[in-house]
């Protein structure tokens, strides 16, 4: 098995916005909040960070700012994937140059590709940098494009392709990755953290960790240290909340929850929009049921 970039809970951190740009003061506050609450890694500019509506100038400045503020206290993984290989290489090189510890590379979307093209695309990015890469397998957001097991077996031979964020929800596929490759596996779905860890997963890249960082860390740490029953109990106690954070497309519910709790992370960027009144009421009720409070 390759040495993991991190074990435990990586927060897929939201990007706090003002009406005119990124709220860097709030981003620094969130970074310190996560470090204080034992988050094991920060993933910046991922799906939950609304990376698809962050133009290059902001994208680069957010990665640089985060790497500098974290200052190697915990790993920082930067989302630098694209459906344009040259663009992904440019962003990846930049992230490495400003101190990111790893890269999150999503499969191409819209234009998609074949498995051969997917291998060549990913290899080209990996060959352009020296830091480890986490493959991001999320076919629900990429028009159904997913790594095949054979492609993963070939990509795993590349030294700095280190891990996969597995967000298909298919535990059989997770088991086959674990059996057939030496990739580190991170759950890309909060609702299967413990099942993925039971198959050898190293942790989670998490949405719920934005509001419950210590609890998400604890689920992973308890499992890692052999207290599997306690891990399972804590995990199951959060399932209703986890599910509620996905009643509308991510990150609408989690960012709304953070604003409801007083984190003041600002607006969503269109085409993301405010929650429906019905879903907002459901979210507020579940937050109250779980006694979730702002910890900032």
Cβ distance 190 to 240 under 8 Å?
no
Element at 86 (helix H, strand E): helix 85-97
CA atoms within 13 A on the CB side of 40: 20
Q: What three-state secondary structure class fits 41?
A: strand
Residue 223 is among the residues annotated as catalytic for this protein: no
Q: Which residue spans within 147-224 are E strands per DSSP?
A: 161-166, 184-187, 203-206
Select which of 165, 221, 232, 255 is catalytic: 165
Pairing, β 41-44 against β 161-166: unpaired
Whether residue 72 lies in the annotated active site: no
CB 57 within 8 A of CB 90: no
Round the CA-based radius of gyration of the chain to a whole number and report it.
Answer: 18
The CA-based angle 210-256-258, given to 5 degrees, is 40
Q: Which residue is catalytic, options 60, 64, 119, 136? A: 136
Residue 96 burial (C-beta neighbours within 10 Å; 0-12, 13-18, 19+): buried
Annotated catalytic residues are 136, 165
């Amino acid at each position: 098995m390759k040495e993991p970039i991190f074990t435990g809970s990586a927060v897929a951190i939201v990007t706090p916005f003002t009406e005119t740009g990124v709220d860097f003061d709030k981003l620094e506050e969130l970074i310190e909040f996560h470090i204080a609450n034992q988050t094991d890694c920060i993933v910046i500019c991922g799906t939950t960070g609304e990376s698809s509506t962050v133009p290059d100038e902001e994208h680069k400045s957010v990665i640089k700012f985060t790497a500098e503020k974290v200052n190697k206290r915990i790993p920082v993984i930067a989302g630098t994937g694209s459906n344009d290989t040259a663009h992904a290489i440019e962003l990846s090189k930049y992230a490495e140059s400003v101190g990111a510890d790893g890269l999150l590379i999503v499969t191409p979307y819209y234009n998609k590709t074949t498995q051969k093209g997917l291998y060549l695309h990913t290899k080209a990015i990996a060959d352009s940098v020296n830091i480890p890469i986490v493959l991001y397998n999320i076919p629900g957001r990429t028009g159904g494009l997913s790594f095949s097991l054979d492609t993963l077996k070939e990509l795993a031979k590349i030294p700095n392709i280190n891990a996969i964020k597995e967000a298909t929800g298919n535990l059989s596929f997770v088991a086959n990755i674990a059996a057939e490759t030496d990739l580190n596996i991170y759950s890309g779905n909060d609702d299967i953290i413990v099942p993925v860890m039971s198959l050898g997963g190293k942790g989670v890249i998490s949405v719920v960790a934005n509001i419950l960082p210590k609890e998400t860390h604890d689920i992973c740490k308890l499992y890692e240290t052999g207290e599997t029953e306690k891990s399972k109990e804590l995990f199951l106690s959060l399932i209703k909340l986890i599910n509620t954070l996905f009643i509308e497309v991510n990150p609408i519910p989690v960012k709304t929850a953070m604003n409801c709790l007083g984190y003041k992370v600002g607006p969503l960027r269109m085409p993301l929009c405010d929650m429906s009144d019905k879903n907002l009421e459901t979210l507020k009720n579940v937050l109250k049921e779980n006694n979730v409070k702002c910890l900032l």
